[in-house]
Structure 1
Amino acid sequence: MVYLSPDAKPAATGLESTMRFLLSAKSAYVDGQVFSVGADDSTPPADWEKPLDGKVAIVTGAARGIGATIAEVFARDGAHVVAIDVESAAENLAETASKVGGTALWLDVTADDAVDKISEHLRDHHGGKADILVNNAGITRDKLLANMDDARWDAVLAVNLLAPLRLTEGLVGNGSIGEGGRVIGLSSIAGIAGNRGQTNYATTKAGMIGITQALAPGLAAKGITINAVAPGFIETQMTAAIPLATREVGRRLNSLLQGGQPVDVAEAIAYFASPASNAVTGNVIRVCGQAMIGA
């Protein structure tokens, strides 16, 4: 379902961008969701097949999995990708950057100087500016709450919630991301419905939803949009390690009776990142096949 602002024109670019996404195979795992589209006077991209042509996109956690796939989809759509991940993932990160023709930056997103290092990298390689920030980096440190120690709690909070907030505010604050910018966060179905043994993780993913909706009005005044994607069961290395029976239940707890693919998440993020989605902000879209959990 699409809610269109009363001030928006039926031919608005933001509406066209949304309908193109929803009527394409790119939204195959997006089901039962509501999109809010405001009024805008943006110009449609010259080439809808390359909507990110010439844009600079920062993707954290880009060494593997969903992050690497986001980088690939962005490159397909014409973006120059800055792929970021920790030094221990250097080999995989280099492969991602090489594959997409982008640049790699080995960085701990929780470090005090993370914003400065990203800004320096942008100055050295991309003229000092970025158009898109995807806060994808995330970790899990699962334990039942009764057995949760401070180290597990603090580590997940630092990477999944505090770092995205710091990077967003820092890069917008120092002008690295300006008017026309796009910020996209990775939430999770766990942030909507919770998950046993993942109180720390679910807290951060719920927090990502809160950040998105809290920052949207202020960023809109600067001409910047912020949205979030909440994946359901996605077929990744992490979910492949789940016991078979549990994994099969996870796959089938949605209307499509199957798990999603990393590219399903990446396509939703690319939709939010498009210049044509200028009137789309403050949205949290579930990429979950209409999961029963949190319905």
Structure 2
Amino acid sequence: MADTYLDLVNTPLPGRIAKALGLPRPSVLRRYSPGETLALDPVLVAGAGAGADALADVLLGWDIEVRRHVLPGEKLSAAVVVLDRAASPADLAAPMLELGQAVRLLVPGGRVIGLLRSSADTTNPAEAAARQGIDGAIRSVAHELRNGATANGIVLRGDATTTDATTLGALRFLLSGRSAYVDGQFIEVTSLPAASAADLAAADTAAGEGVPDQPLTGKTAVVTGAARGIGAKIAEVLARDGARVIVVDVPAAGEQLARVANSVSGTALQLDITAPDAAARILDHAAQRYGGVDIVVHNAGITRDKLLANMDASRWDSVIAVNIASQLRMNEQLLASPVFSGTGRIISLASTSGIAGNRGQSNYAASKAGVIGMVRAQAAAFDGGGRTINAVAPGFIETDMTAKIPPLTRQVARRLSSLQQGGLPVDVAETVAFLASDAAAGINGQVLRVCGQNLVGA
């Protein structure tokens, strides 16, 4: 559903009136289009040390103008602050204060990205304090930015470096228009075994400006719940990025599903994902049509909202069956099947309701929190191999479902995020496509929120 207020305040006179009255003034976000240039204006790489120097050299190789210090009055496409050597809270002052100068110079839709090491990887109290301090600082910066700019972080785990292929893949995503509605979030990356298939593939997609617009070429993807809404958009974006797409939904949605399949030049499979043989049928279809499957997107989900005091067993059980029990069963069968690629990707749709809860959604929140728990626990089965499992947790997204929310409530929900607007289905789809790509080979067991930073403190 269109956000009429957003459109209105981005015209001259209503924009001036909104400013004078102190009303929210959400900006039109910079979203991805094939062939986009990552940075039209210079990018600041702040921070001292070998990690910052090496990253600056890589960005120069991407044909990006790089600045190592702020030049007064010069506009910036992005500011990347490298804090991988922070050993105590005192080490944060100089780079963060320079970042403070840089945010004044960001162009609309600019990006702030922090690179840091994980506080979980140290037992030194001062190091842990510094690393966790960076987390809090970057999230706070995200709340301060305007004009559609975002701030996010990349957390280096283990021996990952600022120039590992998987780090650069995450950096490219956060610099691009694909991350328009990802704000105040952190992506943990690990290094990959040298010369492994995953490492080589990630290195190819992290390399300079010659990255293809179709990074999923040659891959086969399955999207459940694909007949409409976010699922249909995920299928569209995966196909745009080169994947062969199998769209799955219940027989009752067969007509809509066929339209989606035709629009992405894919194939349609009508089935109930709660059926015991659902995964077997999907695997058989993929093997017969395409020889295998590389990407599985668990998007199918339902709501049966009711206050817990009024909840009945059928509402509770149906939501759990579709939203989490089906995924657990299907993942077991996927992992056991040779049809599922050795570099396969599983991406599950969670929700911010599963993180913060939501009134009247105890069943839905339980199912989506369950998805998060499943992804984090099952990551161990993927660790060290070429496969990954991750989740995407959307916040307020403009869909047919949110269009049914009462108008005043809907307006409030839109303005609660740092970006002061709801996201679009394409924002979720872009994040799913990134996690499905070889560039995300070192990201495993993560939950990436696509919420415009609409959770307090998150």
Shorter-normalised TM range: over 0.9
The two structures have a TM-score, normalised by structure 2, of 0.63
Decide which of 263, 270, 273 is 1:99's aligned counterpart: 263
Residue 193 of structure 1 contacts residue 294 of structure 1 at CA under 8 Å; is this kept in 2? no
Partner of 1:21: 173
Aligned to 2:365, which of 183, 188, 202?
A: 202
Whether 1:3 aligns to 2:155 is yes
1:189/1:294 contact within 8 Å kept: no
Match of 2:243 in 1: 79
- The answer on 1:67 being equivalent to 2:231 is yes
- Secondary structure class of the residue paired with 2:434: helix
Q: Which string of whole-angstrom CA distances, capped at 9 and with x for unpartnered residues, describes residues 173-217 of structure 1?
A: 122223211010100010000001110000000001000100001
Deviation of 1:221 (Å): 4.0
Counterpart AA for 1:10: T
Aligned to 1:171: 334
1:252 is matched by which residue type in structure 2? R
- Secondary structure of the 1:180 match is strand
Name which one, 1 or 2, has greater alpha-carbon Rg. Answer: 2
SS at match of 2:355: helix
Q: 1:38 aligns with which of 190, 200, 213?
A: 190
Match of 1:280 in 2: 443
Percent sequence identity over aligned pairs: 55
Structure 1 residues 201, 276: CA separation in 2 closer, same or farther (over 3 Å shift)?
same
Kindly provide the CA deviation profile for residues 63-115 of structure 1, in whole angstroms up to 9, marking residues without a partner as x: 00000000000001000001000001001110111111111000100001101
CA distance, structure 1, for counterparts of residue 358 and residue 190 of structure 2? 33
Q: Which amino acid aligns with 1:134?
A: V
CA distance 1:178–1:68, change in 2 (3 Å): same
Counterpart of 2:296 in structure 1 is 133
Q: CA deviation at 1:293?
A: 4.7
CA distance in 1, matches of 2:158, 2:355: 29
SS in 1 for 2:389: strand
Give the aligned partner of residue 88 of structure 1.
252
Amino acid at match of 1:180: T
The alignment status of 1:162 with 2:314, answered yes or no, reads no
Aligned to 2:406: 243
State which drifts further: 47-56 or 98-107.
47-56
1:11 Cα deviation from its structure 2 partner: 2.7
Query: Displacement of 1:219 after TM fit?
Result: 1.6
Q: What are the superposed Cα offsets for residues 232-267 of structure 1, whole Å, 9 maximum, x if unpaired?
A: 000000000111111111111111110000000001
Aligned to 1:117: 281
Deviation at 1:20, TM superposition (A): 0.9
Structure 1: gaps of 5 or more residues: none
Alignment partners' CA distance in 2, 1:208 and 1:274: 21
Matched to 1:262, the amino acid is P
2:294–2:343 Cα contact (<8 Å) kept: yes
Q: 2:216 maps to what in 1?
A: 52
Residue pair 2:156, 2:189 contacting (<8 A) in 1 also? yes
Q: CA deviation at 1:222?
A: 4.0
Residue identity in the other structure for 1:25: G
Moved more, 284-293 or 30-39: 284-293
**Deviation of the 1:294 alpha carbon:** 6.9
For these two proteins, the number of residue pairs brought into alignment is 294
- State the SS of the aligned residue for 2:393: strand
CA distance in 1 between counterparts of 2:184 and 2:271 reads: 37
Match of 1:195, as an amino acid? N
CA deviations on 1:98-156 (whole Å, 9 max, x unpaired) are 111111000100001101111210122011x1110100000000111011000000000
Aligned-partner Cα distance in 2 for 1:189–1:135:
16
Q: Alignment partner of 1:226: what SS?
A: strand
Higher relative contact order (CA 8 A, sep 6+): 1
CA deviation digits over 1:33-52, x for unaligned, max 9? 01101002412148431110
1:189/1:293 contact within 8 Å kept: no
Q: Which amino acid aligns with 2:179?
A: S
Q: TM-score, normalised on structure 1?
A: 0.97
Kindly report the root-mean-square deviation, in angstroms, between the aligned alpha carbons of the 2 structures.
1.3
SS at match of 2:342: coil
